[in-house]
Structures are given as C-alpha cells and as structure tokens.
C-alpha cells in the first residue's frame, strides 16, 4: 500500500494541490437592497468581487448556477 502510493507520488501521477481545479459556483451579492448573482466564480473570486462591489452581505454556493427564483426565465 505505502509502496504504491509512493510510486504514484514519485511518477507525478498525483496532482499537486496547487494545480487542482477550484470549484466554481454562484456568487450572490446584496447591495442597496438588491440581490444579484454572478455564475461561474470561485469562492476567492466571489469574495474579491463582493469586496469591490461593497456588498452588504454575500454568499457563494459551490457547483451551482445562479437561481432566479422563477423570474424572467
């Protein structure tokens, strides 16, 4: 068991943590009483965007698209 894990590590078959794809999801921002959503952002990008947009409150949902609560589409 240890030998097989070691051989995977030595041959590069294990993907380094820094190169793993980050999860994307829906980023919701509430500012001036309006809730908006941007899809396909990582949590880090969502946090940065919400700080720049001066969101009163925000949340990120991994692996989900934006939800429009049934309005407009």
Cβ count near 56 (within 10 Å): 12
pLDDT tens profile 3-12: 544 454 455 5
Q: What is the pLDDT of residues 1-51, one digit of tens each?
A: 545 444 544 555 455 555 678 999 999 999 999 999 999 999 999 999 999
Q: How far apart are CA 38 and CA 26, in angstroms?
A: 6
Q: Residue holding tokens 């692996």?
A: 63
- pTM of the complete model: 0.66
Of 19, 58, 56, 64, residue with least CA distance to 39: 64
Tokens coding 39? 């899809």
């Amino acid at each position: 068991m240890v030998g097989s894990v070691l051989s995977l590590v030595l041959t590069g078959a294990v993907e380094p943590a820094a190169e793993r794809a980050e999860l994307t999801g829906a980023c919701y921002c509430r500012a001036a009483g309006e809730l908006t959503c941007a899809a396909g952002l990582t949590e880090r990008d969502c946090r940065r965007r919400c700080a720049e947009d001066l969101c009163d409150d925000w949340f990120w949902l991994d692996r989900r698209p934006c939800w429009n609560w049934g309005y407009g589409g």
